[in-house]
Amino acid sequence: MNKNTAYRIVADIAVLICIIHGWWFIALPISLLASWLCPYYIEIIIAGLAYDAMFGSFPETGLWGYAGTISSIMIALFIAGAKRVVRK
């Protein structure tokens, strides 16, 4: 197992534990760091979906019920663009 895979596994486990407990303020920095270190870290979008499924899916909130998913997709796209610019 290479170093990058080990980072990914540790970050996934940490993010999963944080999401289960509802600690988005800890899961977000871990996800940002992992998305910077690992190529194609799509787990941030899966984490956003999981968080919304557990805590944010209320019909009366409308679009705000999916704020975790929308923000995770925007963060993933922003980090991918920033990596392209910085690593050129």
Alpha-carbon distance 38 to 70, whole Å? 21
DSSP state of 40: T
Angle (nearest 5°) at CA 45 between 84 and 52:
150
Q: What are the extents of the domains in the chain?
A: 3-86
The verdict on pTM exceeding 0.75 is no
As separate numbers, helices (DSSP H) first and strands (DSSP E) second, the chain gives 4, 0
Take residue 63 and report the two structure tokens written for it.
């679009």
7-54 pLDDT tens trace: 888 988 999 899 888 888 898 899 888 888 888 888 887 887 787 777
45-60 pLDDT tens trace: 788 778 777 776 666 6
Alpha-carbon distance 18 to 55, whole Å? 13
